[in-house]
Chains A and B, each alone.
Chain A
Amino acid sequence: MRVKTAITAAAPLLAAGGAFAVHRYWPDKTPLSASPVFPRLLGAVAAAWLAYLAAAWYSARLRQRAGEIAPLWAAALVSVSVWQVLTGKTGALPMPFFPGPDRVFSVFGAPSEIKMLVEGTLHSLRLLAVGFGCGSIAGFLLGVWIGWSKQAHYWGMPVLKFFGPVPATAWIPLALVLFPTTFGASTFIIGLASLFPMIVLTASGIASVRHSHLEVARTLGANQRQLICHVAIPSALPSIFVGLFMALSASFLTLIVAEMIGVKAGLGFYITWAQNFAEYYKVFAALLVMGVFFSGLMSALFAVRTRVLRWQQGVIKW
């Protein structure tokens, strides 16, 4: 048991060491200019893990958590090493389309590239915030209206059923005509992409509020507005969050498409731009940044959801 625990705890260290050995002592097929970022990163991961273990020595909760995540970290490091073997070390995957991790991480050592990636991320974030924000707020309000009012439902649903399934990106030509700037046009498209899932799921959540809850609230003295705000919306929140998740993923997709087509900034633009110069390692670097960026936003939304829907039994895990 103790031996097994010790091996688990040391696994990420061993994996980092192995990855470093592969990187250092296995000669590259086609030697490239060596960048120190990748080995330093491996060193940093190993050091971070050691620090974590040291902290876990004193805390039972951290110790348990360390046991849980150790295999994952080890597996991630092994995968990176395998990736390096398949690319730079053996050339099994063709260059320059599949650069090794040392090449990809070298991007994060170049100040000019860092600047572009940071600016690109910020630009994407701004576009996303405005588009997703406006789209989901509008979708929420319209959804509440359609879910609550019989008349709004009657007139709104056919429109939703007809236009809802049309991908937001199909509106790009129209958006470009309607808006003078590409920023405006892409905000509109992203907003549109988040609008429909939000309307549909908010409306269905509001419409399926338990009738008996509304009756209780009415006998307790709630007026129409209070019924909506204090009964219908809280009980529709699980459905509203599903809408938010769908809206967020739809806006990620639309954001990148918009940036690859018209917008001259952002992570999507960076990818197309790097591709034009056949600098595929930059494409991969941008994909890594995108992964961190998008999954960070998703996790943030999940954290909010877990907090807000504490009252719900058996919440979905992320």
Chain B
Amino acid sequence: MVASPSAPAVSAEQVRKIFPPTDGIVTDSAGTLALNGVNLTVKAGEFVSLVGPSGCGKSTLLRIIAGLTEATSGRVSVNGVNVSGVDTDIGFVFQDPNLFPWLTVRQNVAFGPNMRGGWRNPHAADIDDLIQRVGLTAFADALPHHLSGGMAQRAALARALVNRPPVLLLDEPLGALDAFTRMAMQDELRNLTRRHNTTTLLVTHDIDEALYLSDRVLIFSPRPGRIQEEMVIGSGFTRARNAPGFVERRLRILETLHFAPTQADLPESADHWKI
């Protein structure tokens, strides 16, 4: 499926998206311009994060790459094939967990393998392992309405990962988690994507998360969304959350997003600045 290790696994050229006018959204008569000429390439096996203000079109871009929404203009390809319709080589974790309420956690996680041929699927054995990795072993047989928001998110993450998709699109998959569970999940995510050489595009509002996990961070402008700046993290980067390079990069991202602390704020630690 992956053409060659260096070929882009995901590429978007001049992607524009205009949503038709809808009742209740104040727009000009042309509709909502959500994305305005987005260019993006993600190499196979690369981990790229997207950060940007709320409503700038990050989810829309992910949906376009996954084939769930059609771009108004522009070209999108995944593994060298133009996107037209849903590609099952792509794993997608939605902003809402969207667990199937009639299935238990284990059945939800097993949904993908079941759709792809049940027990013959070689990945089926991963189900319990993944449930354990996201820390839901005790809740494997629970129904979704008995889960907390964060637990539901972790279940949704396991459900997308179990198919071992070559390309993984994550829309704030850890948004509802507390700081500690979130760090544990970040480590799991990093290990899994490394081990399976998964090309990953992560939307997050947590700059530390983006810096910690990514090879590159893309910063979106406010709507209409465009990629405003790119930050290459590089392999030599120490991912310790308090390393000097880490803090410096965090400040640069905040600056781009116009959230840079003023001089008066600086003596205080900027550790807790989030978008």
Give residues in A with beta carbon < 8 Å to B. Answer: 210, 212-213, 215-223, 226, 230-231, 234-235, 237, 310-313
Contacts and interface: CB of A to CB of B under 8 A. Distances in A.
Given A212-B96, A221-B112, A231-B100, 9 more contacts: A210-B98, A218-B68, A218-B86, A219-B66, A219-B68, A219-B86, A220-B115, A220-B163, A235-B100
Contacts of B103: 234, 311
A215 B115 contact: no
Given A221-B112, A222-B115, A230-B111, A216 B163 contact: no
A226 B92 contact: no
A220 B159 contact: yes
B21 interface: no
Contact of B101 (A220, A226, A311): A311
Contacts of A226: 115
Contacts, number: 67
Interface string B182-221: 0000000000000000000000000000000000000000
Given A311-B145, A313-B145, A217 B111 contact: yes
B102 A235 contact: yes
Contact of B100 (A215, A234, A313): A234
Given A219-B86, A219-B90, A220-B115, A213 B159 contact: no
Contacts of A212: 94, 96, 98
B101 A216 contact: no
Query: B interface, how many residues as a size bin?
Result: 20 to 34
Interface string B91-110: 11010101011110000000
Contacts of A219: 66, 68, 86, 88, 90-92, 160
A229 B116 CA distance: 14
A219 B167 CA distance: 11
Nearest to A212: B98
Contacts of A311: 101-103, 143-145
Interface in B32-86: 66, 68, 86
Residue of A217, A237, A311, A313 with most chain B CB atoms under a 10 A cut-off:
A311
A221 B163 contact: yes
A293 B101 CA distance: 34
Nearest to B90: A219
A138 B66 CA distance: 37
Contacts of B114: 230
12 contacts: A210-B98, A212-B98, A216-B94, A216-B159, A217-B111, A218-B68, A221-B115, A226-B115, A230-B114, A235-B100, A235-B101, A310-B143
Contacts of A217: 100, 111, 115
Nearest to B95: A212
A237 B102 contact: yes
A214 to B, nearest CB: 10
Interface string B156-198: 0001100100000000000000000000000000000000000
Contacts of A221: 88, 112, 115-116, 163
A215 B160 CA distance: 12
A220 B88 CA distance: 6
B115 A230 contact: yes
B98 A234 contact: no
A26 B73 CA distance: 93
Nearest to A215: B68
Question: What 10 A-B pairs come out closest when comparing CB atoms?
Answer: A220-B112, A219-B92, A221-B88, A218-B86, A311-B102, A222-B115, A234-B102, A221-B115, A221-B116, A212-B98
Contacts of A312: 101-102
A218 B91 CA distance: 10
Contacts of B111: 217, 220, 222, 230
A217 B66 CA distance: 13
A167 B11 CA distance: 60
A210 B96 CA distance: 12
Contacts of A210: 98
A154 B123 CA distance: 42
A223 B115 CA distance: 8
Contacts of B101: 235, 311-312
B62 to A, nearest CB: 11
B100 A213 contact: yes
B68 to A, nearest CB: 5
Nearest to A220: B112
